[in-house]
Every structure is written in structure tokens, then in C-alpha cells.
Amino acid sequence: MLPLWRDQVRIVLCKDRVIFLHLQGGARGRRVRSKLIVPCVTSEPGWQPVLAVLESSLQGKDLKKADAMVILSNHFMRFLVLPWNEASLSATEKMALVQHRFSEVYGEGSERWEFRLSEGAYGASSIASAVPRELLQQLKKLLADSPLRLNSVQPYLMMAFNACRRELGKQDGWFVLAERDTYCIGLMRGGQWSSIRVRHVVADWFEEAMLLLEREALLAAGSGEINEVFVCAPESAVAPPAKRGAWQIRRILLNPLPEFSPAEMASYSMAAAGL
């Protein structure tokens, strides 16, 4: 009997829009069945407006027998890098440690967040992420009431990093990931995270990222000789310069989809990360 290939709907939640990418499965790979970007125009802060846009956008759509992957903009996320811990901890103890570290860094507001821990290999650091608990709860309820079957919720940082991993390799370097209104800067040592910072864009993401990068380099012990900067900014039409002072800048391009023009690929890059 031939396998049943389920469609996948990738849903990206950003501060100012919801991106839909409907992929149809098949033995020869996936193809784009439909795509849509719905703007979220509001002055109201927080994540509630974009969930309202998602709810209204799902109404009346033929999405039966499709799995949903939700990708969250880094605008809604927080990250911490936890160094290797030789102590043998239970899963409960590990999450208690994660919550304690977030509380130390972000204060009492972190009590309302949901935490995830992505553990590295033996001897390597781990990445802890946090997202508002109510955002996750309402998102799961919304999709439970839709024809879609929610399979996973992923931070865009992890999706983009995994797509860039081959080019990053295991060398030391800085990784910069830019969205329209948010950018992340991470320090990589031997292919492992050493630090992650998330900032919201005020004016020019590249200039702001380079200023933060210079400050981070001063704070990070032993990073003075690390001058490789890998930039992933698929939504930006302007390529960063190849050199900035002592920084050697390499732009990483995500794999294009044959159904998309370059302009469409830029618009749907967050949804297509890793394809």
C-alpha cells in the first residue's frame, strides 16, 4: 500500500503579519500548494493581535488532513545559553534550573513563561528558550478548534540556524539573524552556542547589530580573535558589506524554492526555512 502523505501548513507568527505556506506532500518531495501573508496592523502591543489575525484567517479554509508547524518570530522569544553541567540532574531539576536562570536574568515576569531546553552533546552547552505561556495555550486551543493538527511550535532562530548549520560548520564565529523588526546575535565556539542576544530593531538593523556585536565582543572572554560574522537576513534586499573594520562578513542565503521568485522567497523565507 502506498504511504499517505499529509500536507503541511507552516504558519509564521510575527508582530506585524501572519505567513501561511501550504505544502503538499508526495513521494517526490513537497511542492507549494498555496501561500498567503496577512498583515496585522495595530498599535496594540503584545501577541494577542496576531493571534486574532490567525484565527480569522483560518476560517473557511480547506485544511483537512494537514499538519501545522507554527514558527514563532524571535520577537516573542527569549533565549539563554546554559553552560555544561557535570551534575546528574533529573528532567524536573533541569527545568527548575532553567526557570531559576531566566528569573535571574529577566526578573519576575519570567514566571508567566513556558520553557524549553535543547540539550547539547556531552560536554557542550545547552539552549533554553522561553515564550509567554498564555500565547502557547491560546495558540494550541485555536488550532485544536481548526481542521489542522498541530505538530510542533518552533522558534525561528532554531529553524534558521539549522538551515545554516552546514555553512557555519564547527568554526568559531558570530551568527546574526535578522527579521524586519528583530535581530539575534549569537557567538559560536566549535559549532556550539556560547551566547545569544535578541534585540528589537529601532532604525537600521545592520548598524544596530554591528554596534551590539562590538559590545558583545568586548564582554565575551576570549572572543577578541573571532572576527568571522555570518549574517542570515533573507528578508533584506540589501546585502551587508563583505568587511567592516576587522570583521569579515559572510552572508548566508537560504535554499530557494523553485516555485518562488526572488522577491517571493524573501517574503516567505521565514516559513521556508529548512526546506
What secondary structure does DSSP assign to 163-211, as a single string? HHHHHHTTS-EEEEEE-SSEEEEEEEETTEEEEEEEEE-SS-HHHHHHH
Q: Is 245 a member of any domain?
A: no
Q: Is 105 a member of any domain?
A: no
- State the burial class of residue 232 (Cβ atoms within 10 Å of its Cβ: 0-12, 13-18, 19+): buried
Q: Is 145 a member of any domain?
A: yes
Pick from 157, 181, 154, 172: which is nearest to 232 by CA? 157
The DSSP bridge partners found for residue 195 are 187
Q: Is 211 a member of any domain?
A: no
pLDDT score recorded for residue 239: 87
pLDDT in tens, 203-244: 899 999 999 999 998 888 776 689 999 999 999 988 899 999
Domains in the chain, number: 1
State the cell numbers at 136: 502557547
Query: pLDDT band at residue 28, thresholds of 50, 70 and 90?
Result: low
Q: Is 117 a member of any domain?
A: no
Query: pLDDT band at residue 2, thresholds of 50, 70 and 90?
Result: very low
pLDDT score recorded for residue 83: 86
Query: pLDDT band at residue 265, thresholds of 50, 70 and 90?
Result: very high
CATH code of the domain containing 40: 3.30.420.40
pLDDT score recorded for residue 1: 40
Could you tell me if 96 and 168 are in contact, meaning their C-beta atoms sit under 8 angstroms apart? no
- The answer, as to whether pTM is greater than 0.85, is yes
Domain that includes residue 47, residue range:
7-75+134-154
Q: Is 69 a member of any domain?
A: yes
Kindly list the distances between the CA atom of residue 268 and the CA atoms of 92, 160, 233, 259, in Å, as whole numbers in the listed order: 38, 13, 12, 11
User: Please, what is the average pLDDT of the chain?
Assistant: 90
Pick from 167, 173, 164, 166: which is nearest to 195 by CA? 173
Could you tell me if 66 and 149 are in contact, meaning their C-beta atoms sit under 8 angstroms apart? yes
Q: Is 226 a member of any domain?
A: no
Q: Is 12 a member of any domain?
A: yes
Cα-trace Rg, the chain = 19
- State the burial class of residue 161 (Cβ atoms within 10 Å of its Cβ: 0-12, 13-18, 19+): buried
Tell me the residue type at 21. Answer: L
Helix H or strand E segment including 132: strand 126-132
pLDDT score recorded for residue 170: 85
- Most confident segment among 48-62, 74-88, 130-144: 130-144
